[in-house]
Chain A
Amino acid sequence: GAVVSQHPSRVICKSGTSVKIECRSLDFQATTMFWYRQFPKKSLMLMATSNEGSKATYEQGVEKDKFLINHASLTLSTLTVTSAHPEDSSFYICSAQKQGSGYTFGSGTRLTVV
């Protein structure tokens, strides 16, 4: 089956620092990965589509300079939350689609900015 590994699962950082979250497809190549964010009692909301070898596509209202996405290989996409603030505290989760299969998700990252 298709497996996506995401880490860290939980991170606490100080306000003003940057945090990197990794998303890896373990047994398939993913030209496209997706990053979602979920606030308490809200739906998973798509933040951006990460494209291997090219710039990410950001959804309306998501700051691309704030949430840096790098998809340098067919198995790895990273999301860096730059100069994090408490309002960036949220649950972040990635997904990838293996050809012929549905979407496979990582297990998510709980970010707390203090």
Chain B
Amino acid sequence: ILNVEQSPQSLHVQEGDSTNFTCSFPSSNFYALHWYRWETAKSPEALFVMTLNGDEKKKGRISATLNTKEGYSYLYIKGSQPEDSATYLCASSGYSTLTFGKGTMLLVSP
């Protein structure tokens, strides 16, 4: 893997559904994996920063896992709500710069 790849590109779920997204990144020269939540016309909001293989982090109904050996991270949202609608970005960082994926656009319908 040469770039940061995210899938799916977009997702439309019903309120209450649980969902997950994937972020794949180059495992060489890896330092940290960042997840952001980005609503239109707002600043991307940092969700998680993970560095260690096997890391799992949780923030309310949102959680994330990290596998640095195989170069992937999953983001899970349990019981999606309409306010979860946003673009979810992941980024891999070396020492100081971030390389972003294209994001997963989530739409949660009431």
**Chain A contacts to B: CB under 8 angstroms:** 4, 6, 9, 32, 34, 36, 41-46, 49, 93, 95, 97, 102-108
Contacts and interface: CB of A to CB of B under 8 A. Distances in A.
User: Lowest 5 CB-CB distances: which A-B pairs, in order?
Assistant: A44-B100, A43-B100, A105-B44, A105-B43, A107-B43
A34 B97 contact: yes
A97 B99 CA distance: 15
27 contacts: A4-B43, A32-B96, A34-B98, A36-B100, A41-B102, A42-B102, A43-B101, A44-B89, A44-B91, A44-B98, A44-B100, A45-B100, A46-B97, A46-B98, A46-B99, A49-B96, A49-B97, A95-B98, A97-B96, A102-B34, A103-B34, A103-B98, A105-B44, A107-B41, A107-B42, A107-B43, A108-B43
A72 B107 CA distance: 41
Interface string B1-26: 00110000000000000000000000
Contacts of B101: 43
Main secondary structure of the interface of A (DSSP, over half): strand
Interface of B: 3-4, 34, 36, 41-44, 46, 49, 89, 91, 96-103
Given A32-B96, A43-B101, A46-B97, A103 B89 contact: no
Given A45-B100, A107-B42, 4 more contacts: A42-B102, A102-B34, A102-B49, A104-B43
Contacts of B99: 43, 46
B50 to A, nearest CB: 11
Nearest to A10: B41
A42 B87 CA distance: 13
A4 B44 CA distance: 11
Given A43-B102, A44-B89, A102 B97 contact: no
Given A102-B46, A102-B49, A103-B34, A9 B98 contact: no
A9 B43 contact: no
Contacts of A95: 98
A41 B10 CA distance: 11
A44 B41 CA distance: 15
Nearest to B39: A107
